[in-house]
Amino acid sequence: MENLETKRNIPRDLFLHLLAIVTLYWSSISFVTLVWQFINILFPDITDIFRQGGSLIGYSSGLIRFHVSAIIIVFPVFILISWYLNKIYKRESVVRESKIRKWLIYLTLFVASLVIIGDLIAIINMLLGGEITIRFILKALTIIAVAGIIFGYYLDDVRRETPTKLAKPFAIGSIILVCIVVVSAFFVVGSPASARLAEFDQQKVYDLQSVQDRIVNYYQSKEKLPEKLADLEDSISGFKVPVDQQAGRPYTYNVVYIECPTTNTANCPPKTLVFELCATFNKSSQQNNTTPKMMYPVKIGEVSQVWDHPAGDYCFSRTIDPERYPPFSKTK
């Protein structure tokens, strides 16, 4: 009867143990990634930066949001599955001694060992190369700490015939650490409402970039600026002028007329080559640390145009350089 019971529970045992190991790996990866992002914030490096909202910052809020979302879902599953397995172990000791469990645990010990060994090799290699930094040391120590804790816990557990007494302290300590990391992440990326406002601002910049490109193309084709944004619409290409999705109204476009001074008019640009694109932003670009979806800024004049903006109404002034963007009729 015992053999029949064991056979009947093999699919259940495989499912629960495999799910526990997978959620453990996933939670560990998300935890380490979040800690690494915090280290990037505390110790920024100009060689490892992201362009976001026209600003350069040392972390990816999109990456933080993804792994916060993952750990909020995956880590509780790991805790619940581990708790349920411990209940099964008390009822059915044969499950604890099953080959499925031991194979997965030894696989975990193998992976943790490789991670620790590889991390130590990387540290020594960087040290010998004279490129060791505080940021690298902290990231390496994070991996060693996480892999070491997992290795130590499961090595102790697999040697025992009964569940280890470290299970409860391990679970409580893990929950505390994960909660600290998740709460800290919300301070970095802001609340969901704040993130939505940032996404609106990002979309506005993306729309204005698209419109700006169309205006430059319009000038090169017709050797003049459009009088209104509706002139940019093209039934053949299917281009339609985007609107402010948050406010539900068109963006503001102005052709700026610049009067040349009576003297030194050589550097005065033609009055019809200056235009403004305006929008209303929820927050300044420095606050909008969202994952970049926009294109890189294009060059309209001699200087690369950026898209930094304050909160509220703001207009981006652009002057087209005819030498950089000559009309198509003059390039034939």
User: Residue 1 — pLDDT band, cuts 50, 70, 90?
Assistant: very low
Q: Given this model, what pLDDT does residue 293 score?
A: 38
Q: Which two tokens stand for residue 95?
A: 């499950």
Output 54 or 329, whichever has higher pLDDT: 329
Q: What is the mean pLDDT of residues 133-152?
A: 86
Output 19 or 131, whichever has higher pLDDT: 19
Maximal C-alpha separation, the chain: 106
Output 87 or 166, whichever has higher pLDDT: 87
222 pLDDT exceeds 90? no
Among 146, 170, 189, give the residue marking a domain's end: 189
For residue 54, is it left (φ>0), alpha (ψ between -120 and 50) or beta?
Answer: left
Mean pLDDT of the chain: 79
Q: Given this model, what pLDDT does residue 76 score?
A: 95
Q: Which two tokens stand for residue 63?
A: 């990456």
Q: Given this model, what pLDDT does residue 2 score?
A: 45
Output 193 or 317, whichever has higher pLDDT: 317
How many domains is the chain partitioned into structurally? 2
User: Residue 307 — pLDDT band, cuts 50, 70, 90?
Assistant: confident
Distance CA 244, CA 308 (A): 18
Among 173, 189, 205, give the residue marking a domain's end: 189
Q: Given this model, what pLDDT does residue 198 score?
A: 83
Q: Are residues 216 and 316 in the same domain?
A: yes
Q: Are residues 198 and 185 in the same domain?
A: no
Using CA atoms in the order 221, 224, 228, 231, what is the torsion angle rounded to 10 degrees?
-20
Task: State what percent of residues in the chain have pLDDT above 90.
Answer: 19
147 pLDDT exceeds 50? yes
What value, to the nearest 5°, has the Cα angle with vertex 150 and ends 146 and 154?
175
Q: How many helices (H) and strands (E) does the chain have?
A: 8, 7
Q: Are residues 24 and 145 in the same domain?
A: yes
Q: Given this model, what pLDDT does residue 258 score?
A: 60
SS (H, E, C) 225-286: CCCCHHHHCECCCCECCCEECCCCEECEEEECCCCCCCCCCCCCCCHHHEEEEEEEECCCCC
Q: Are residues 96 and 145 in the same domain?
A: yes
Q: Are residues 123 and 58 in the same domain?
A: yes
Q: Are residues 67 and 179 in the same domain?
A: yes
Radius of gyration from C-alpha coordinates of the chain: 29
Q: Given this model, what pLDDT does residue 269 score?
A: 55
Q: Given this model, what pLDDT does residue 285 score?
A: 77
Q: Are residues 180 and 287 in the same domain?
A: no
In this structure, the strands spanning 274-281 and 50-52 are unpaired
Q: Given this model, what pLDDT does residue 251 score?
A: 94
> Going along 23-177, which residue ranges are E strands?
50-52, 55-57
Q: Given this model, what pLDDT does residue 299 score?
A: 42
Q: Are residues 128 and 206 in the same domain?
A: no
Task: State what percent of residues in the chain have pLDDT above 70.
Answer: 79
Residue range 30-54, pLDDT digits in tens: 999 899 888 888 877 655 554 443 3
Distance CA 165, CA 58 (A): 41
User: Residue 132 — pLDDT band, cuts 50, 70, 90?
Assistant: low
Query: Is this prediction's pTM over 0.75?
Result: no
Query: Among the ranges 42-51, 232-241, 265-274, which has the highest mean pLDDT value?
Result: 232-241
Q: Given this model, what pLDDT does residue 281 score?
A: 93
Distance CA 301, CA 211 (A): 16
Q: Are residues 63 and 167 in the same domain?
A: yes
Q: Given this model, what pLDDT does residue 267 score?
A: 61
Q: Are residues 158 and 245 in the same domain?
A: no
Residue range 6-39, pLDDT digits in tens: 444 678 888 888 898 899 999 999 999 899 888 8
Distance CA 290, CA 105 (A): 39
Q: Are residues 160 and 244 in the same domain?
A: no
Q: Which domain holds residue 266?
A: 194-330
Q: Are residues 167 and 237 in the same domain?
A: no
Residue range 169-219, pLDDT digits in tens: 888 888 999 999 999 888 877 767 777 888 888 899 999 999 999 999 998
Could you give the 3-state DSSP secondary structure of residue 44?
coil
Q: Are 225 and 271 in contact (CB under 8 A)?
A: no
Among 147, 170, 189, give the residue marking a domain's end: 189
CB atoms within 10 A of CB 116: 18
